[in-house]
């Protein structure tokens, strides 16, 4: 890279960001802190940077105080850590400000964390994004030395999705005012997910397929130098088909080996790690399992319903459980588990002490008895403060065998309750 190119890109980005339109998301930044934003490609990390830049502009700052650089610009070739200083120097030769620094997809630069630490030590305000969970590795965390706050960026919540379609639910009655529109949009959100750029795309399935190929070949095959591409693709497909079930390393190794090339448990473990590091999957542990089983026998959900739906034929029950997993993980990061000990309960949120079953419908008597029985069992062991059953459309109140209340909520209401929760138990 040379200075002329760096100056050109900085100026172009200032013009772009000044005119860009975006939907306000439910993320807030402390102006005294530095941030690392991490998450799946196209989850909206760049637009959160734009949002923060416009916040600064609305506070009276000049666009010339902004140094925004996207390291996925196709004009950049083999950016090295020394180029980061060159970018900063190029800005300083053009403007007489101490800039707010925004480094987008900086994980493409080896050694970026040392530069980021130096910026923080020099009291710059810095915002960084990345699409690889290795940005959270212990080595990088040690280098950054507590100088940055980490925010995980998920696809749109249901509330954000509605807002992007100009439906603002500012009071309790708004959902009923816009009920028809909200339920129609829920079907799109349920089927095609909440990745921000997909909202205005006509052929969403093609767009999602192209995105998956970009993640598969760019973030997985190329980054980790994977040779057995068919084995990895088979693993992803089998995780999607079994999204509601716990899967051990050995079971997955046997399934993949039976379809294609033989693959061992160690490779399965590596592949699952790569999928997690690329933010494609959400692993969830059994809250009551022994330590070894917690690691090797997890449930694997997908970070977005639209991507999961690429691999499904009969999708409605899997998509329902997956969308609940996404929204719980967004709100209660690190606190979401499943329960398996005699019976299985789909989700247990430890910090809230809530047990949740997911069932597309409980109209069938056998299904109803099974879901109530599972919640009755977990109630005897973990004593949750609340018991929920999430359905696609149904709402009522049930009781366990011990007389404890079970609230049955339709998906739309559950999503809005989770979105609007700030403190305390879901209610």
Among 119-133, 198-212, 381-395, which is the least confidently predicted range?
Answer: 119-133
Beta carbons within 8 Å of 259's beta carbon, 6+ residues apart: 234
Exposure string of 43-52, with b = 16+ CB inside 10 Å and e = fewer, is bbbbbbbbbb
**Can you give the pLDDT at residue 175?**
73
- Which helix (H) or strand (E) is 338 found in, with range? strand 336-341
Residue 211's pLDDT band, with cuts at 50, 70 and 90, is very high
**Can you give the pLDDT at residue 424?**
34
Rg for the chain, CA atoms, rounded: 23
Residue 212's pLDDT band, with cuts at 50, 70 and 90, is very high
CB 408 within 8 A of CB 389: yes
Q: What are the pLDDT digits (tens) for 14-51?
A: 999 999 988 889 899 998 999 999 999 999 999 999 99
Sheet holding 297-302, edge to edge: 246-248, 297-302, 281-284
Q: Quick check: 171 pLDDT over 90?
A: no
Beta carbons within 8 Å of 376's beta carbon, 6+ residues apart: 400, 401, 402, 404
**Can you give the pLDDT at residue 118?**
94
The dihedral of CA 224, 229, 233, 235: what is its sign?
A: negative
What 3-state class would DSSP assign to 230? Answer: helix
DSSP string of 114-151?
HHHHHHHHTT--EEEEES-GGGGSHHHHHHHTT-EEEE
**Can you give the pLDDT at residue 421?**
65
**Can you give the pLDDT at residue 143?**
80
**Can you give the pLDDT at residue 426?**
45
Q: Quick check: 422 pLDDT over 60?
A: no
Q: Apex CA 279: angle with CA 142 and CA 206, to 5°?
A: 150
Q: Apex CA 367: angle with CA 362 and CA 369, to 5°?
A: 100
Q: Which residue has the tokens 């509605």?
A: 162
What 3-state class would DSSP assign to 385? Answer: coil
Exposure of 66 in the CB half-sphere (CA atoms within 13 A): 29
**Can you give the pLDDT at residue 1?**
84
Residue 139's pLDDT band, with cuts at 50, 70 and 90, is low
CB 186 within 8 A of CB 158: yes
**Can you give the pLDDT at residue 176?**
74
Residue 119's pLDDT band, with cuts at 50, 70 and 90, is very high
Across residues 144-171, what is the average pLDDT?
89
Average pLDDT, the chain: 92
**Can you give the pLDDT at residue 144?**
85
Q: Quick check: 296 pLDDT over 80?
A: yes
Provide the pairing of β-strand 343-349 with 336-341. Answer: antiparallel
Q: Quick check: 282 pLDDT over 60?
A: yes
Exposure of 379 in the CB half-sphere (CA atoms within 13 A): 20
What 3-state class would DSSP assign to 62? Answer: coil
Q: What percent of the chain has pLDDT over 70?
A: 96
**Can you give the pLDDT at residue 85?**
95
Q: What are the pLDDT digits (tens) for 79-89?
A: 999 999 999 99
Q: Quick check: 427 pLDDT over 70?
A: no
**Can you give the pLDDT at residue 314?**
81
Taking alpha carbons only, the member of 314, 279, 316, 317 closest to residue 300 is 279
Taking alpha carbons only, the member of 200, 425, 412 closest to residue 323 is 412
Beta carbons within 8 Å of 210's beta carbon, 6+ residues apart: none
Alpha helix segments (H runs only) across 332-388? 365-382
What are the angstrom distances between the C-alpha of 406 and each of 159, 329, 356, 374? 25, 22, 10, 11
Beta carbons within 8 Å of 118's beta carbon, 6+ residues apart: none
Q: What percent of the chain has pLDDT over 90?
A: 78
Residue 423's pLDDT band, with cuts at 50, 70 and 90, is very low
Sheet holding 405-410, edge to edge: 336-341, 343-349, 354-358, 386-391, 405-410, 396-399
Q: Quick check: 168 pLDDT over 90?
A: no
CA distance 255 to 235: 8
**Can you give the pLDDT at residue 225?**
93
CA distance 414 to 407: 11
Q: What are the pLDDT digits (tens) for 403-420?
A: 999 999 999 999 999 988
pTM of structure: 0.92
Across residues 185-209, what is the average pLDDT?
95
Across residues 149-168, what is the average pLDDT?
92
Across residues 371-398, what is the average pLDDT?
97
**Can you give the pLDDT at residue 137?**
67
Token pair of 220, please? 């997985």
φ, ψ at 253 (rounded to 5°)? -60, -40
Q: Apex CA 238: angle with CA 237 and CA 239, to 5°?
A: 90
Residue 13's pLDDT band, with cuts at 50, 70 and 90, is very high
């Amino acid at each position: 890279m040379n200075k002329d190119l760096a100056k050109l890109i900085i100026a172009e980005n200032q013009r772009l960001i000044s005119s860009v339109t975006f939907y306000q998301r439910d993320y807030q930044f402390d102006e005294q802190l530095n941030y690392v934003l991490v998450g799946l490609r196209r989850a909206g990390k760049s637009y959160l940077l734009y949002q923060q830049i416009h916040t600064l502009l609305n506070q009276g700052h000049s666009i010339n105080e902004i140094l925004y650089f996207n390291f996925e610009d196709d004009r950049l070739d083999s950016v090295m850590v020394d180029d980061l200083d060159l970018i900063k120097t190029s800005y300083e030769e053009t403007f007489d400000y101490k800039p707010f620094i925004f480094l987008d997809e900086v994980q493409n630069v080896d050694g970026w964390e040392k530069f980021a630490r130096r910026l923080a030590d020099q009291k710059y305000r810095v915002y960084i994004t990345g699409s690889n969970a290795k940005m959270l590795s212990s080595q990088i965390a040690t280098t950054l030395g507590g100088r940055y706050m980490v925010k995980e960026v998920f696809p749109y919540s249901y509330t954000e999705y509605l807002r992007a379609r100009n439906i603002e639910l500012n009071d309790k009655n708004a959902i009923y005012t816009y009920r028809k529109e909200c339920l129609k949009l829920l079907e799109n959100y349920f089927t095609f997910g909440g990745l921000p750029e997909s909202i205005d795309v006509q052929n969403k399935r093609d767009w999602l397929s192209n995105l998956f190929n970009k993640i598969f070949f760019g973030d997985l095959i190329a980054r980790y130098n994977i040779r057995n591409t068919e084995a990895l693709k088979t693993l992803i497909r089998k995780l999607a088909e079994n999204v509601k079930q716990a899967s051990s390393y050995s079971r997955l190794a046997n399934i993949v080996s039976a379809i294609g090339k033989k693959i061992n448990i160690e490779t399965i473990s590596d592949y699952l790690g790569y999928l997690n590091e690329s933010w494609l999957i959400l692993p969830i542990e059994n809250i009551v399992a022994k330590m070894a089983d917690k690691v090797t026998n997890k449930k694997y959900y997908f970070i977005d319903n639209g991507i999961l739906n690429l691999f499904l034929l009969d999708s409605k029950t899997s998509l329902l459980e997956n969308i609940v997993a996404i929204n719980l993980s967004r709100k209660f990061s690190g606190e979401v588990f499943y329960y398996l000990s005699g019976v299985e309960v789909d989700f247990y949120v430890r910090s809230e002490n809530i047990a949740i079953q997911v069932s597309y419908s409980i109209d069938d008597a056998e299904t109803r008895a099974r879901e109530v029985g599972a919640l009755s069992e977990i109630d005897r062991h973990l004593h949750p403060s609340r018991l929920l059953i999430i359905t696609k459309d149904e709402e009522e109140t049930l009781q366990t065998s011990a007389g404890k209340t079970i609230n049955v909520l339709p998906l739309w209401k559950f999503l809005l309750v989770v979105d609007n929760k700030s403190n305390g138990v879901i209610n």
